[in-house]
Chains A and B, each alone.
Chain A
Amino acid sequence: MTALQTPPGRTEVPGSTSRSLGEHARDYVGRIRGGDMGSLPALAGLIVLCIVFGVMRPVFFSDINFANLFTQGSQVVLIAMGLVFVLLLGEIDLSAGFASGVCGAIMAILLTNENWGWYLAIPAAIVTGVIIGVVLGVLVAKVGIPSFVVTLAAFLAFQGLVLLLLTGGKNISINDPFTVGIEKDNLPPWLGWVLLIVCVVGYAGVQLNRVRSRRSRGLAVDPLSLIAIKVGALAVAGAIAVYFLNQERAINPAFHSLKGIPNVVPLIVVLLLVWTFVLSRTTFGRHIYAVGGSKEAARRAGINVDRIRISSFVICSGMAAFGGIVAVSRANSVDPNTGGSNILLYAVGAAVIGGTSLFGGKGRVIDAVIGGAVVAVIDNGMGLMGYSAGTKYIVTGVVLLLAAGVDALSRRRAAASGLR
């Protein structure tokens, strides 16, 4: 066997050496230059946009506007979080916007017309979303209609369904204090700080536990300095947000005090944590990435591809239901345009701007939150600058195109550099 000599060169044992902070930094820069940019363009864009709007309209940085950003962006962010699952498979759900409208309408009808309690009406809305997801998923996975067509048809049909539910487009208002409070009420300031501490301590605990369990098996671990930087960044960013949200933002505090984190923020954080856990730490999440990467490889590995595809549509429509609930809560009412107009495109834009690929296999739930923040800032900032809705739509469309362009180009670049 003279022909079979070990090729010269790299001889290190795979994955057994721990790397220093410097090496991590170099690695990260290398990944970005290779085209694997993740959320970096979105974060950079977010900072630039905030500075631009803040300089041109100082009111942008006011406490009340800061809180508004969260409540304005929440519906888009929640729908986008669900869309990430569908996008990960390389599919699309164009009906998520009106699905949220249908779910919102169901909730409003049950609350107002049928006098149900919120504890029944909200689950009913979510169940509606789940049923919509099952129908869409079965049509795509089992019948084999392209998701674009299925959800385009559903987009139209759900628009009609909302009209029928609201019998000719009447506006149904809600006055259930809990439901309205999701968007309108805030956490007591002390609870905001407690939740922040819980989050930071929990994050640090998860990271340190990971190091401990890997070290006990003799595997490479992240340097403690890197973990300290990550935890520190979370703590600082969280503290700034909580501090400003805890400021009094009512014009007349004696009449009605307005301070604290809006209730919808912890809702988004909890859903973000749950779905991030599902995607990155469970077999189900791993299989979603696998199906998005290569259906054939997933099938041969014994993964039930149809089940994964249907569940992704269920998660997407289920999250759209949360978006609908929040939208109804914010508007105090539901009308035929709840979940309509630009909501869906903003949500797709949020996921893509945040770094989720339209080609499948790449993306995280936090992308939806980061991208949703960009969309909310553009919408809010341009409104403050006095631009018309027409200009806002055009700018948001251009930003979406830009993000999709970055996605396509970085994919090409990554293919050339062998990263993807």
Chain B
Amino acid sequence: MTATPILEMRGIDKSFGPVQVLRQVDFTANAGEVTALVGDNGAGKSTLVKCVGGIYPIDSGDYLFDGKPVTVHSPRDASSLGVEIVYQDLALCENLDIVQNMFLGRERTRGIVLDEPTMEKMASETLDRLSVRTVKSIRQLVASLSGGQRQTVAIAKAVLWNSKVVILDEPTAALGVAQTAQVLELVRQLADNGLAVVLISHNMNDVFAVADQIACLYLGRMAAQVKATDVTYSQVVELITAGRSGDLGLQAAAVAAAGNGNGSHDAGVTDLGDMNGAQ
């Protein structure tokens, strides 16, 4: 395993008014690995990701990037660190082609003129590097692409900028079987290229197909972050639904505290996120 995780969140607290959404959450992502982030609806997955992406400021806790503490106040800060998030609703312009979408907002120019050849070249190299073979021409309009191809474009757009951490929010939620396989292959390819990939998913098959680590949120607490090979399918489901599974997960007291939603967060937080450090 790598010595320092590229991304480490330590003891993150986040509340919106009186509602505390994240309590003392620890989370790490290593370069070259796929870390799946799972949890039931409302467990805090999206909030955690938005804190990482700089959309929400964190109330307290440490944000470490490459071992060094950093402060991230805006999405711009996050992308300058090399953290990119691909949201579920992709946000692509259908009336533009693949190259134009990949460079949207960050166009290459020579003087005031768009440098189309350079952009086309870079886009095509990025797609090659990701072994994308499913698009006919990179000058196709995004409107003509299938859901899986659009996901591919959105992911390629995120990795075009030498990003180090790519966070994918339910990339396969709206896809069919074959397209899901394509996207998962791409996810694996990203990690094999040395990126840290965080995969948010509700689909356990997807998680076990590609993830190296599984981090499970339960009602705003990190129930556990474990190696995918160390847990079974049903253990992960228990972690998602009950916050614990045998020795794994939150202690009974913490589960109860999280369950009634207003327990103080120093009461018996012994989540096994630390297990990760022991491995």
Which of A174-182, A211-219, A368-376 interfaces with chain B?
A211-219
Q: Is the CB of B104 within 8 A of A283?
A: no
CB-based nearest A residue for B187: A4
Q: Is the CB of B137 within 8 A of A213?
A: no
**Interface residue? B181 (CB, 8 A):** yes
Q: In terms of DSSP, what is the predominant structure of the interface of chain A?
A: loop
Tell me, in angstroms, the Cα distance from A159 to B144 when the chains sit together: 45
Tell me, in angstroms, the Cα distance from A416 to B76 when the chains sit together: 37
Q: Given the complex, which residues of A lie within 8 Å of B95, measured CB to CB?
A: 289, 292-293, 361-362, 420
**By CB atoms of chain B within 10 A, which of A5, A287, A301 has the most?**
A301
**By CB atoms of chain B within 10 A, which of A217, A293, A362, A419 has the most?**
A293
Tell me the smallest distance from the CB of A338 to a CB of chain B, in Å: 36
Q: Is the CB of A418 within 8 A of B144?
A: yes
Q: Given the complex, which residues of B lie within 8 Å of A216, measured CB to CB?
A: 117
Q: Given the complex, which residues of A lie within 8 Å of B104, measured CB to CB?
A: 286, 290, 297-298, 301, 303
**Interface residue? B121 (CB, 8 A):** yes
| 8 Å CB interface, B158-210 against A | 178, 181-182, 184-185, 188, 209-210
The answer to whether residues A15 and B117 also contact, given A10-B136, A283-B107 and a CB cut-off of 8 A, is: no
**Interface residue? A44 (CB, 8 A):** no
Q: Given the complex, which residues of B lie within 8 Å of A213, measured CB to CB?
A: 117
Q: Given the complex, which residues of A lie within 8 Å of B138, measured CB to CB?
A: 14-15
Q: Is the CB of A1 within 8 A of B210?
A: yes
The answer to whether residues A4 and B143 also contact, given A13-B124, A283-B107, A290-B93 and a CB cut-off of 8 A, is: no
Q: Is the CB of A282 within 8 A of B209?
A: no
Tell me, in angstroms, the Cα distance from A294 to B134 when the chains sit together: 24
Q: Is the CB of A219 within 8 A of B121?
A: yes
Q: Is the CB of A283 within 8 A of B109?
A: yes
The answer to whether residues A361 and B93 also contact, given A16-B124, A419-B144 and a CB cut-off of 8 A, is: yes
**Interface residue? A225 (CB, 8 A):** no
Q: Given the complex, which residues of B lie within 8 Å of A362, measured CB to CB?
A: 95
Tell me the smallest distance from the CB of A90 to a CB of chain B, in Å: 11
**Interface residue? B113 (CB, 8 A):** yes
| 8 Å CB interface, A279-325 against B | 281-283, 286-287, 289-290, 292-294, 296-298, 300-303
**Interface residue? A341 (CB, 8 A):** no
The answer to whether residues A419 and B141 also contact, given A6-B133, A16-B124 and a CB cut-off of 8 A, is: yes
Q: Is the CB of A14 within 8 A of B136?
A: yes
Binary A-proximity of B220-242 (CB < 8 A = 1, otherwise 0) = 00000000000000000000000
Q: Which of A214, A283, A297 contacts B117 (CB 8 A)?
A: A214
Q: Which of B89, B132, B136, B209 contacts A4 (CB 8 A)?
A: B209
Q: Is the CB of A7 within 8 A of B117?
A: no
Tell me, in angstroms, the Cα distance from A408 to B89 when the chains sit together: 25
Tell me the smallest distance from the CB of B183 to a CB of chain A, in Å: 10
Q: Which of B89, B134, B178 contacts A10 (CB 8 A)?
A: B134
Q: Given the complex, which residues of B lie within 8 Å of A15, measured CB to CB?
A: 120, 124, 137-139
**Interface residue? A414 (CB, 8 A):** yes
Q: Given the complex, which residues of B lie within 8 Å of A388, measured CB to CB?
A: none
The answer to whether residues A282 and B91 also contact, given A3-B184, A302-B76 and a CB cut-off of 8 A, is: no
**By CB atoms of chain A within 10 A, which of B90, B104, B128 has the most?**
B104
**Interface residue? A167 (CB, 8 A):** no
Tell me, in angstroms, the Cα distance from A171 to B202 when the chains sit together: 73
| 8 Å CB interface, A1-44 against B | 1, 3-7, 10-16
Q: Given the complex, which residues of A lie within 8 Å of B114, measured CB to CB?
A: 281-283, 286
**Interface residue? B135 (CB, 8 A):** yes
Q: Given the complex, which residues of A lie within 8 Å of B144, measured CB to CB?
A: 418-420
**Interface residue? B92 (CB, 8 A):** yes
Q: Which of A14, A292, A297 contacts B127 (CB 8 A)?
A: A14
Binary B-proximity of A258-294 (CB < 8 A = 1, otherwise 0) = 0000000000000000000000011100110110111
The answer to whether residues A420 and B143 also contact, given A217-B121, A290-B104 and a CB cut-off of 8 A, is: yes
The answer to whether residues A298 and B143 also contact, given A14-B137, A283-B114 and a CB cut-off of 8 A, is: no
Q: Given the complex, which residues of A lie within 8 Å of B120, measured CB to CB?
A: 15, 214, 217, 219
Q: Which of A4, A217, A283, A298 contacts B184 (CB 8 A)?
A: A4
Tell me, in angstroms, the Cα distance from A294 to B90 when the chains sit together: 11
Q: Is the CB of B113 within 8 A of A1?
A: no
**By CB atoms of chain B within 10 A, which of A15, A219, A415, A418 has the most?**
A15
Q: Known pairs A10-B136, A14-B127, A415-B143. 13 more at Cβ < 8 A?
A: A1-B210, A3-B184, A3-B209, A4-B185, A7-B178, A7-B181, A216-B117, A217-B120, A289-B95, A289-B96, A293-B93, A298-B105, A302-B76
Q: Which residues of B contact A (CB under 8 A)?
A: 76, 87, 89-96, 98, 100-101, 104-107, 109, 112-114, 117-118, 120-121, 124, 127-128, 131-139, 141, 143-144, 178, 181-182, 184-185, 188, 209-210
17 CB < 8 A contacts A-B = A4-B181, A11-B133, A13-B124, A13-B133, A213-B117, A219-B121, A282-B114, A289-B96, A290-B104, A294-B94, A297-B91, A297-B104, A301-B104, A362-B95, A414-B143, A418-B144, A420-B94
Q: Which residues of A contact B (CB under 8 A)?
A: 1, 3-7, 10-16, 213-214, 216-219, 281-283, 286-287, 289-290, 292-294, 296-298, 300-303, 361-362, 414-415, 418-420
* A-B pairs with lowest CB-CB distance, top 4: A301-B105, A293-B93, A361-B95, A293-B95
